[in-house]
């Protein structure tokens, strides 16, 4: 793999370019503060060049045989497999992810590339009957054209790749804007993989920039027909509004406030393992993470004691150390925000069963309980290693608490009776929920997305076809129509 310095450029129309902006994004290692790269930002002009290049290249690409398009993804998969160790090192350095987290991300990235290979042949046409004599109705699935992809920092390689690969293999071109904190792993590294896989120039463009420079140019631009955005609900609300004003389709994968419910008949030791993973994987910087651990009062004491014991055993430190469970948060602003959240929540009446310290971007785990029922902390997303343990009395109260949030992304129910768990799952307003497992799952062929403030639309599998293709009706009149005048 190329070094960070080699990838610290814009990638437009098949060429690596220096941005023309007046300032640089400094890419740093969030654990030790080491400067990885300096990238001069892209301006509105470069956003326009990227979209125009995509528009030109897409016309030919759309007419390319889908069997040929999928060969690019086959080669991209082999490249990722061959460079897995180098990509792992990049993920650890740029986003402070642990080696366990990098392995999880890369494993899923490879699965999504395998699914993209199959996705190339998924679109199908239809012949639809007509009430008009001699009329033949043909319904085609065709590429939307150009797709704008805006990806987050937490799983940058995976969450860029899944939309990019699907959109490309379905016959579209893409302009990708990665998060400013992960410009290489979420942006130019993806471009390098596809460039080396032989993707024709112009079909994938990467612009590294900031809204302070370009405003809404990336989503207002007239070329893209679909915007695939993954990020916060606040930003997603704005993206959705701008897309609607410009008649663009938006796929919005947003935040979450998942509840992991432990019923009185659950396997407590197993539920503890699932809850610790669900809350603290990738330092809690996961939209599906279990912010709230809801526990039946009948098993509250046993569960809480074992939960605290396991959390205390988590190793916090250098993400490059294979033994580390919790590395740094992505930046100092996020670390300060999580620390302030704990301070505010404790001051408002919560009890700290475990109070973690903050050193730089390293935030040690905190476990809070005893929150007032109307605590704002229970309704919001916590993007950090803080768990809220909430007792409940009976299924109805568990469901009420689980639904008492504007989010609806994921969740889990732990019980000795699987069908009981399914009945409860049906009552919880989420796009995804898992029985006797963690809250953190993503599979290539299963629709991924949320309800309420957790997003609009779905990705993965057939949902990718829905998102990145459109329907075209072509009718043929065999013989002559008759007209009223």
pLDDT tens for the chain, residues 1 to 485: 468 999 999 999 999 999 999 999 999 999 999 999 999 999 999 999 999 999 999 999 999 999 999 999 999 999 999 999 999 999 999 999 999 999 999 999 999 999 999 999 999 999 999 999 999 999 999 999 999 999 999 999 999 999 999 999 999 999 999 999 999 999 999 999 999 999 999 999 999 999 999 999 999 999 999 999 999 999 999 999 999 999 999 999 999 999 999 999 999 999 999 999 999 999 999 999 999 999 999 999 999 999 999 999 999 999 999 999 999 999 999 999 999 999 999 999 999 999 999 999 999 999 999 999 999 999 999 999 999 999 999 999 999 999 999 999 999 999 999 999 999 999 999 999 999 999 999 999 999 999 999 999 999 999 999 999 999 999 999 999 989 99
Helix (H) or strand (E) holding 150, with range, is: strand 146-150
* Fold of the CATH domain 259-435: Aldehyde Dehydrogenase; Chain A, domain 2 (3.40.309)
**Residue 245 contacts by C-beta under 8 Å, 6 or more apart in sequence?**
none
* Residue spans of beta strands (DSSP E) within 178-270: 204-206, 226-230, 249-253, 259-262
pTM of the model: 0.96
pLDDT in the model for residue 3: 82
User: In this structure, are residues 342 and 355 in contact, taking their beta carbons and an 8 Å threshold?
Assistant: yes
Q: DSSP state, 91?
A: H
201-228 in b/e burial notation, b at 16+ Cβ within 10 A? ebbbbbbbbeeebbeebbbbbebbbbbb
Of 105, 253, 381, 395, which one is the catalytic site residue?
A: 253
Based on C-alpha coordinates, what's the Rg of the chain?
A: 24
* Residue spans of beta strands (DSSP E) within 172-306: 173-177, 204-206, 226-230, 249-253, 259-262, 292-296
Of 213, 243, 287, 395, which one is the catalytic site residue?
A: 287
Q: Is 185 a catalytic residue?
A: no
Q: DSSP state, 459?
A: B
Nearest by Cα to 335 from 314, 356, 352, 350: 356
Dist. CA 80–CA 135, nearest whole Å: 49
- Residue 250: CB atoms within 10 Å: 21
Beta bridge partners of 477: 135
Report the SS3 class of residue 125: coil
Instruction: Answer yes or no: CATH 3.40.605.10 is held by domain 10-254+454-473.
Output: yes
pLDDT in the model for residue 408: 98
Report the SS3 class of residue 398: helix
For residue 10, report the phi and psi dihedrals to the nearest 5 degrees.
-75, 150
Instruction: At 86, list the tokens.
Output: 């180098």
pLDDT in the model for residue 2: 60
25 φ/ψ sector (left φ>0, alpha ψ -120 to 50, else beta): beta
**Residue 413 contacts by C-beta under 8 Å, 6 or more apart in sequence?**
260, 261, 263, 421, 424, 425, 428, 433, 434, 435, 436
Q: Can you give the residue ranges of every domain in the chain?
A: 10-254+454-473, 259-435
Work out the widest C-alpha separation in the chain, in whole angstroms.
Answer: 83
pLDDT in the model for residue 1: 47
Q: DSSP state, 433?
A: -
Nearest by Cα to 317 from 353, 287, 360: 360
pLDDT in the model for residue 315: 98
Q: Is 287 a catalytic residue?
A: yes
Decide whether 10-254+454-473 matches 259-435 in CATH topology: no
Helix (H) or strand (E) holding 475, with range, is: strand 469-477
For residue 294, report the phi and psi dihedrals to the nearest 5 degrees.
-95, 125
Tell me which residue has tokens 């398009």. 69
Listed in sequence order, the DSSP H helices in 83-183 are 84-95, 99-119, 156-169
């Amino acid at each position: 793999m190329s070094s960070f310095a080699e990838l610290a450029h814009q990638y437009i129309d098949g060429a690596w370019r220096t941005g023309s902006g007046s300032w640089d994004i400094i890419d740093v290692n969030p654990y030790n503060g080491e400067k990885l790269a300096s990238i001069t930002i892209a301006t509105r002009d470069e956003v326009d060049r990227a979209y125009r290049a995509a528009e030109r290249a897409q016309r030919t690409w759309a007419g390319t045989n889908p069997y040929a398009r999928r060969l690019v993804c086959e080669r991209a998969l082999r490249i990722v497999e061959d460079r897995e160790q180098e990509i792992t090192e990049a993920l650890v350095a740029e986003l402070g992810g642990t080696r366990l987290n990098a392995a999880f991300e890369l494993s899923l990235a490879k699965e999504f590339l395998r699914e993209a290979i199959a996705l190339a042949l998924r679109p199908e046409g239809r012949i639809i009957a007509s009430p008009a004599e001699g009329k033949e109705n043909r319904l085609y699935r065709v590429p939307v054209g150009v797709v704008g992809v805006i990806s987050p920092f937490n799983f940058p390689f995976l969450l860029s790749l899944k939309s990019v690969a699907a959109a490309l293999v379905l016959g579209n071109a893409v302009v990708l804007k990665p998060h400013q904190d992960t410009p290489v792993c979420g942006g130019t590294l993806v471009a390098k993989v596809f460039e080396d896989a032989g993707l024709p120039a112009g079909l994938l463009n990467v612009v590294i920039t900031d809204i302070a420079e370009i405003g809404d140019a990336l989503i207002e631009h007239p070329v893209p027909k679909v915007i695939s955005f993954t990020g916060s609900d606040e930003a997603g609300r704005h993206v959705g509004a701008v897309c609607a004003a410009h008649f663009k389709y938006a796929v919005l994968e947003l935040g979450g406030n998942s509840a992991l419910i432990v019923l009185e008949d659950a396997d407590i030791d197993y539920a503890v393992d699932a809850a610790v993973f669900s809350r603290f994987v990738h330092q809690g910087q996961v939209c599906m993470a279990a912010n709230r651990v809801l526990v039946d009062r009948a098993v509250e004491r046993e569960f809480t004691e074992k939960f605290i014991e396991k959390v205390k055993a988590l190793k916090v430190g250098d993400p490059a150390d294979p033994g580390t469970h919790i590395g740094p948060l992505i930046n100092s602003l996020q670390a300060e925000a999580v620390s302030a959240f704990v301070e505010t929540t404790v001051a408002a009446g919560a009890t700290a069963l475990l109070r973690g310290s903050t050193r730089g971007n390293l935030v040690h785990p905190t476990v809070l309980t005893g929150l007032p029922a109307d605590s704002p902390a229970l309704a919001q997303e916590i993007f950090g290693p803080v768990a809220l343990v909430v007792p409940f009395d009976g299924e109805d109260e568990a469901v009420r608490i689980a639904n008492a949030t504007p989010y609806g992304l994921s969740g889990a129910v732990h019980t000795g009776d699987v069908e009981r768990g399914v009945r409860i799952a049906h009552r919880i307003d989420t796009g995804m929920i898992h029985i006797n497992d963690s809250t953190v799952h993503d599979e290539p062929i299963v629709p991924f997305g949320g309800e309420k403030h957790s997003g609009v639309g779905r990705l993965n599998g057939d949902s990718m076809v829905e998102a990145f293709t459109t329907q075209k009706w072509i009718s043929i009149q065999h013989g002559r129509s008759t007209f009223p005048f």
